[in-house]
Structure 1
Amino acid sequence: MPASVFLLGPGFIGGEIIGLLLISKYKVTTLVRRESAVADYANLGVETVVGNLDDASVIKAQVTVSDIVLHTATADHLPSVQAIIHGIRERAAQGLRTIYIHNSGATLLSDTAEGEYKSDTIFDDEKPEGINALPDSASHRLVDLEILRAGQELASHAKMAIMIPPLIYGVTNRENRLSIQLPTLVRYSIKHGYAGQVGKGLAVWNQIHVKDHARGYMVLLHWLECASVTDTALNPYFFCENVQELSWGECAAKIGRTLTEIGRIDEATPKPIPKENWGDLFGDYSGMVVGSNARHRANRLRKLGWAPLEKDTLASLAEDEIPIIARETGEFTGYASVVAS
């Protein structure tokens, strides 16, 4: 009988993972918010439960009948994570084992540079002490700590991992979905007529294409299916990056050149975005989301045999993402939802 997977968040990241899970013959169930989505997933061969992240009883019940749980919906919803852990605890009481992979994000590592400098700090997932030294106030940290504690408590029956992606880019296979950070900068640039960057644009992030990220999940999952509990209880962290580090200024420059070439803006040279316009980005979080440093190395996944295969960020922007965004209609007023990365 194939292993059963419960995936929360079948969107940008989760949708790509679902495709790979089906290819690998897992039995997949996902959480959907609307009854209208049930038939579409059934056509894919995916079972569904209807509810949202606040439906703790629905989540817990599905976890109790699932061998594997993947949470890619958001990095910051503590009640859904607690519901998952309660379900895993109930499985453990029945002698059942569970694998849980949670999607965190590199804003966990971010600083207050606001584009003014490139940091020398580089995190390494083979050195968990550096991550564990982060303050509880760091983005995503309270949720990650909940998983860290549960992983140690339930180590005899559960293997838990925290995936920490950097800037995710690219277009998904099934629904042509886009990511968050760079598309928001593109939409801002179209609206305001210039390529925008936070501050001097000097801060840097690592990069990963959504398809490479999904493949990273599968490599991690297959390893967890064979790994000992001590391998994850002491160090649950896995980075996923493609070696490419880009400054926000380099990204803004590519956005500017591409939008100028297709006639959407007249000025290609990036300019600082005034704080009074941050409402058209990520509000008060704009300096962190598109202006901080977050540098790290995915040494653990590489040693498991994973390697990135997709085109780089700047090529993806010009060839895949900006053409889609340029066709959008309606007024853009910033990104209002919770930022996963």
Structure 2
Amino acid sequence: MSSGKNVFIIGPGFIGWCVLDLLVSEGYSVSGLVRRKEHADGIQQSGATAVMGSLDDKSLITEHTAKNDITIHTATADHLPSVEAVLEGVRQRVRNGRNAIFIHTSGTSILDDGANGEYKGDRIYYDNKPEEIDALDDNAPHRQVDLAIVRSRKELGSQAKMVIMTPPEIYGWNPKHRRLTIQFPVLSRFAIKHGYAGHVGKGLSVESQIHVLDLARAYIVLLHWLEKTAPEEVQKNPYFFCENGKEFSWREGAEELGKALFEAGKIDSPEPRTIPEDLYKDLFGDFTSAVIGLNSRSRAVRLREMGWEPREKGIWESFRQDELPAILAEDHSNFSGYKGTVAS
């Protein structure tokens, strides 16, 4: 059980709500920043306190960060103002002589090699080698936000414990929340609209993967490590990957989606096809290649050293049993691509 510590979660949605449940079960006092009353009602039923606001409410985020022992950001990995607001709240805590823990959620799109689906990359990144991650291009996806945290770590030194969780492709289903991930549901909606399952380029690029419930448990393992570990040790390396030891190619993904949707009577053939660039608007727009055409191969060495292990079902079993029924129940008549940002 916890020692009565307070946690502020920014964006308790697909990832963060699962983390919230685990924190509440361990006795933490949890509040979550949400935009909609329906969502506020949901997290309150889970035992948390709702804070109504948006990622652009910088003063509100700073205020609640400063009031809480722990802040966890699980909203978009690309919203710099909200992260800057957290960092200001952390500074306020430090100035007042109080400890602070901040876990930010990035994504392994930082590893994007520009493959556009044309080849399987050889490069694998390990989170116990921070120098390799530090060497990534400053303009890589999510990197602007990550670097703001890295700079603040240097500024505050051992006075604050701040780390970056960097998951790959996240899949899975929490039946209590009934929320979907992003990439494969979007590809499924695209397939239903256009009549085929598709991939970027040749679909040869590969990515690591993690079930959302395994990821949620990883946040708790990481938090417990931060709580008991000396600041000087935390300061050595800000990066944590989280993957289940398996990878998939995006063509493999299109093949699995094609078979499942064909069997469901939603498309006429299970054979995957290359998606023409003029239809990227029905996927992730200009970011399509960076979202579903990248090589992104990561290894979670550090979490495994802490005793964390993945234990949930595999990605395709999960898709067929859990995500696909929810996707098929949707109204797809107005689908025109995903308009938000994608963490991995």
- For the aligned pair, the TM-score class normalised by the smaller chain equals over 0.9
Contact 1:16 1:173 in 2 (8 A): no
2:148 aligned residue: 146
CA distance in 2, matches of 1:96, 1:245: 42
Task: Show structure 2 runs of 5+ residues with no match.
Answer: none
What is residue 198 of structure 2 aligned with on the other side? 196
- Between the aligned residues of both structures, percent identity stands at 51
Q: Could you tell me how far apart the structure 2 residues matched to 1:211 and 1:200 are? A: 31
Give the Å deviation of 1:172: 2.2
**Over the residues paired in the alignment, what is the CA RMSD in angstroms?**
1.1
Q: 2:224 aligns with which of 222, 225, 237?
A: 222
Q: CA deviation at 1:318?
A: 1.3
Confirm or deny: 8 A CA contact 1:205 1:293 kept in the other structure: yes
Query: Could you say which residue in structure 1 is the equivalent of 2:185?
Result: 183
Deviation at 1:39, TM superposition (A): 3.9
Paired AA for residue 247 in structure 2: E
* Alignment match, 2:336: 333
Partner Cα distance (1:91, 1:246) in 2: 43
User: 1:296 corresponds to which residue?
Assistant: 298
Matches within 5 A, 1:1-341: 2-35=4-37, 37-329=39-331, 330-341=333-344
Once residues 300 and 288 of structure 1 are traced to their aligned partners in structure 2, the CA distance between those partners, rounded to angstroms, is 26
Tell me if the contact between 2:158 and 2:235 (Cα under 8 Å) persists in the aligned partners.
no
Alpha-carbon separation, structure 1, partners of 2:153 and 2:64: 19
Structure 1 residues not aligned, in runs of 5+: none
Aligned-pair CA distance for 1:35: 4.5
Whole-angstrom distance in 2 between the partners of 1:119 and 1:303: 26
Offset of residue 40 of structure 1: 3.8
Q: Secondary structure at the match of 1:154?
A: helix
1:223-270: CA deviations, max 9, x gaps? 000111122222100000001110001111010111111111111111
The aligned amino acid for 2:72 is L
Shift of 1:36: 5.2
Taking the aligned partners of 2:149 and 2:156, their CA distance within structure 1 comes to: 10
Quick one: which amino acid aligns to residue 166 of structure 1?
P
Deviations 1:33-83 (A, max 9, x none): 134544443333211222111111101111111000000011111111111
Q: Distance in 2 between matches of 1:263 and 1:286?
A: 26
Distance 2:41 2:252 in 1: 43
| In 2, Cα distance between equivalents of 1:36 and 1:198 | 36
Distance (Å, rounded) in 1 between the aligned partners of 2:40 and 2:195: 41
CA distance in 2: counterparts of 1:151 and 1:133, whole angstroms:
17
